Amino acid sequence: MPNPKLSQKNLLIAFDAFGTLFTPRGPIGALYGEIARKHGICGDVSDEDIMSSFKKAFKHNAKERPNYGKEVGMDPTAWWSNIITQTFTPFLSTQKSSSPGSAPPNPPSLPHRLVPDLITRFASRDGYTLYNDVIPLFASLRAARGGSGSSRRKIVTAVLTNSDDRVAGILRSFGLRVGHVDPETVEKIAASTYPNGSGSTSATTLLQPERLGENDIDFVLTSYDCGYEKPHRAIFDAARRLALARYAQVGEGEETGREIDDDGEWEAVYVGDEVDKDVVGAEEAGWANAFLVDREGLVRDARDVVRREDVGGEGQQQVRVLRDLRELETYVLG
């Protein structure tokens, strides 16, 4: 259970992306079907059937090519292209030969622009809705770290998500200011080869924020870049190291080799919409404060006990539930 109210230690606050900060504009089956029909296919196919086919394709690729293709050396665009192709191919009719002895039937193929159009749509705000509480919360966090002097509280904001490299662009398309992190550096940090490996890396190459000190989100850490998916501890540990690197970059005196320690000078907070991947994953990685977002009130009480199967034999996990992200201000900003 998270502490009721945090101290005034330095703060790393990280968020999940999908279902926490933004969500698709509508059911995936409907959004996919809309684009498909514009390209002249699936006119007589229901959105429900498209959604069913999408789920099957997604499940297959997630199993065979985990982490958006990362584990088999596939880039995310190719991974999503596979899913789109496998989603719609069952609905294509094969062109039959007109007479015996003629050429064999042509294999079905998707319209040329269907795949890139869908990938483009879901790479920006065109495919998503930003929750109403997101902009106000990040404005408050930005204002809270706008003070000056060596005694001011350090605050690092991040997005930590199981996804590919489109997330930062999606957030920017909503007007949020998002810092940049080099994917190769993320891999080194996640593999624990930085900073203890051979050679050294300047802190300025770790993080290159567009507006240093003025970002809404200092960095986005995706499972694809990190090489590990939540709830694996490695992705949470990588976020801690990146947060300290952010302050090393601006000469705040932190060592990039250290990790944020909840018993030391920093507190780490994670916010997401899934109990096992987000809340349990963060807490088992040593983040003392994790919050579950439940805008629809699916959990009956803000201090409800969420039941889950546990390796250690515990049958329940008590979590703090947020109905609105702005409730975080009470806990983390006082």
Q: What is the pLDDT of residues 198-251, one digit of tens each?
A: 333 333 344 554 444 578 999 999 999 999 999 999 999 999 988 887 766 544
pLDDT tens per residue, range 143-168: 887 655 545 678 899 999 999 999 99
Q: Are 243 and 209 in contact (CB under 8 A)?
A: no
259-265 long-range contacts, Cβ below 8 Å, gap at least 24? 260/10, 260/12, 262/286, 262/287, 262/288, 262/289, 265/9, 265/10
pLDDT for 248: 62
Indicate the length of the chain as a whole number. 334
For residue 20, which amino acid is it?
A: T
> Residue 114 class from Cβ within 10 Å (0-12 exposed, 13-18 middle, 19+ buried)?
buried
With beta carbons less than 8 A apart as the criterion, state whether 156 and 243 touch. yes
pLDDT tens digit string along 81-106? 999 999 999 999 744 444 555 555 55
Domain 10-21+131-332, CATH homologous superfamily name and number? HAD superfamily/HAD-like (3.40.50.1000)
> How far is it, in rounded angstroms, from Cα 259 to Cα 238?
9
Q: What pLDDT does 170 receive?
A: 98
On the CB side of 116, how many CA atoms lie within 13 Å of its CA?
Answer: 3
Residues of the chain with CATH 3.40.50.1000: 10-21+131-332
CA quadruple 142, 144, 147, 151: dihedral sign? negative
pLDDT of residue 214: 78
Rounded Cα distance, 266 and 196, in Å: 22
pLDDT tens digits along 14-26: 999 999 999 999 9
What does the pLDDT average to over 166-186? 90
pLDDT digits (tens, 9 = 90+) for 29-74: 999 999 999 999 999 999 999 999 999 999 999 999 999 999 999 9
Query: What is the β-pairing status of strands 128-130 and 305-307?
Result: unpaired
pTM over 0.85: no
CATH fold of the domain at 26-92+113-126: DNA polymerase; domain 1 (1.10.150)
* Tens digit of each residue's pLDDT (9 = 90 or more) over 262-321: 447 788 999 999 999 999 999 999 998 999 999 998 876 544 545 444 434 455 556 789
* DSSP at 180: -
Asked if pLDDT for residue 194 goes beyond 50, the answer is no
Give the residue among 264, 273, 210 at the shortest CA–CA distance from 240: 264
Query: What is the location of CATH 1.10.150.720 in the chain?
Result: 26-92+113-126
- Which string of DSSP letters, residue by residue, matches 276-318? IIIIIHHHHTT-SEEEEE-TT--SSSTTPEEE---TTS--EEE
